[in-house]
Amino acid sequence: MSLATALFLAFFGVAAIWFGIVVFRTHSMVRSAIALLFSQTAIGAMFLVMQAEFLGVLQIMMMATEMSVMAIFMVMFMMDPGGMGKMDMTHQKRLSLWAGGIGLVAALVVIWTAGWQGPAPDVPGADEQARLLGREILGRSMFIFESAALMILTAMIAATMVAIAPQEEDTQ
């Protein structure tokens, strides 16, 4: 076990959880989006600590873009995006707390009783990992990768069609 790795994992993990909690605690929706961005960035940093460099960088870049878009939507659609009015936009709080708590405890019980055996094996370097992933994508998993591309294309078309304002001839 590397003490430095464990410490960095714990540090970024606590940051990810803390910012995740801030998302639902702040009244300002823009702050919520920024907190979610920090939480996702901390998760990306955990990927980097776990030597998954490509995925870590991808996670940080993707989430930075995604959360920027989310912040714009917040300002567009929220009644009080700045949180100045201290509006309460929650419901069934007790049920949600119980569900979240039970989910957390159940997952922790499984994790700590599963008995995964060490030591952790070594991983190849970043360049070798990228080469292996490229071979995986263009080899055995090509069909899955192409399906993901098709899924994104379908979602883009579907989202655009849903969002377009209905034309006059559509409503007749």
Partner 1 sequence: MIPELMIALSVGAALFGVGLYGALSQTNLVMIIMGVELILAAALLNLVAFWRYLHPDVTAAKMFVLIVMAVMAVEMAVGFGIAIARFRSRGSVEMEEARELKG
If the CB atoms of residues 91 and 169 are measured against partner 1, the closer one turns out to be 91
Cα–Cα dist 56/66, whole Å: 15
The least CB distance from residue 22 to partner 1, in Å, is 10
If the CB atoms of residues 62 and 64 are measured against partner 1, the closer one turns out to be 62
Could you tell me the CA-to-CA distances from 143 to 61, 77, 154 in Å, in that order?
25, 38, 16
Cα–Cα dist 16/38, whole Å: 7
If the CB atoms of residues 17 and 64 are measured against partner 1, the closer one turns out to be 17
The least CB distance from residue 102 to partner 1, in Å, is 8
Peptide bond into 119 cis (omega under 30): yes
Q: Between helices 126-137 and 53-77, what is the axis angle to 10°?
A: 70
The least CB distance from residue 36 to partner 1, in Å, is 5
If the CB atoms of residues 43 and 169 are measured against partner 1, the closer one turns out to be 43
The least CB distance from residue 86 to partner 1, in Å, is 15
**Cβ distance 64 to 41 under 8 Å?**
yes
DSSP codes, 50-89? TT-HHHHHHHHHHHHHHHHHHHHHHHHH-SSTT-TT----
If the CB atoms of residues 35 and 169 are measured against partner 1, the closer one turns out to be 35
Return the ∠ at Cα 98 (arms to 92 and 100), rounded to 5°: 100
Structure token pair of residue 155: 């979602």
